[in-house]
Amino acid sequence: MPSTRPPLQNHAAIVTGASSGIGLAVAEALANAGDAVAVNYRSQPVPAEELVRRITDRGGRAIAVQADVSQEADVTRLFEEASAAFGRVDLLVSNSGVQKDAAVADMSLADWNTVIDVNLTGQFLCAREAVRRFRAQPAAGRPARSAGAIIAMSSVHEIIPWAGHINYAAAKGGVRMLTRSLAQEVAPDGIRVNAIAPGAIRTPINKEARDSEEALTKLLRLIPYGRIGEPEDVARAAVWLASDDADYVTGTTLFVDGGMSLYPEFRDNG
Ligand code: BGC
């Protein structure tokens, strides 16, 4: 008989950048799958606290934690608060990310640094803390087959070059190799490390690219599957990657992009 047990029952997760967009949808989906969730936010407490309330009203466990993932001390505190609240941490979804777009000649060092600090260094700081915690936790009482899992929110731009966004593409290219190298390093500890590469998902980060009819038509030309992705498309992939159903999956990137990374411009060309 199929089990009706929620796939992430008794798990505890940290989701960074969970006050909006993909992070919020992932945190909510994990909670619906039975996970206790630390909802991290940097500057928007209200949606984070509303999400926590929605989860706890349904009988789930959640806390909101303010932290800037590019700051070492903040990251340590984030993990301490999650583990104090839930007794353990089994999953990190390292999702925080920003864009500061400019043509290269106009890109300030500050905008280069901010994107690298949040999108790449933030991933390193969170992953390092997760590995330390996973290794220190006793094997007895583990809710999953793995000793812990990390999901890095990457982007199709971990492989697709993106003019006018070199800071963002450089950071995501870095996330790709961080994920693969770290997976190789910690697999012997029973820790799984994977990435999700979303394409154009309906979130505040790409609002401008969808704002007018003309922009939307242009964007849809890049998506063979013919629609913009929804945050829930990514959230469902995260629940699967976090669960024991993906226990033999490590060091890979799951593209959730409606085919954006399939070079659609080659369909009638080349
Ligand atoms: C970016 C979005 C963009 C999408 C596809 C994402 O990583 O954050 O702004 O729409 O990639 O290009």
In a domain, 7, yes or no: no
Is the shortest distance between the CB of 20 and ligand 1 below 6 Å?
Answer: no
In a domain, 189, yes or no: yes
Q: Please tell me the total count of domains within the chain.
A: 1
In a domain, 25, yes or no: yes
User: 115: CA distance to ligand 1 center in Å?
Assistant: 14
pLDDT, tens digit (0-9, with 9 covering 90-100), for 32-75: 999 999 999 999 999 999 999 999 999 999 999 999 999 999 99
In a domain, 244, yes or no: yes
Q: Take residue 137 and report the two structure tokens written for it.
A: 């936790």
> Domain span at residue 164?
12-197+230-256
Q: What is the CATH number of the domain that holds 66?
A: 3.40.50.720
Residue 245, Cα to own-chain centre: how many angstroms? 19
Q: Report which ligand 1 atom has the smallest distance to the Cα of 99.
A: 8
In a domain, 6, yes or no: no
Contact 42, 67 (CB under 8 A): yes
In a domain, 93, yes or no: yes
> Does pTM top 0.95 for this prediction?
yes
Contact 79, 89 (CB under 8 A): yes
Per DSSP (E only), the strands in 53-190 are 62-66, 91-94, 148-153
In a domain, 136, yes or no: yes
In a domain, 63, yes or no: yes
Catalytic member of 168, 225, 248, 263: 168
Q: pLDDT value at position 2?
A: 59
Q: Which amino acid is at 90?
A: D
Q: Is 168 an annotated catalytic residue?
A: yes
Which of these, 98, 82, 58, 123, lies nearest to 205 by C-alpha position? Answer: 98
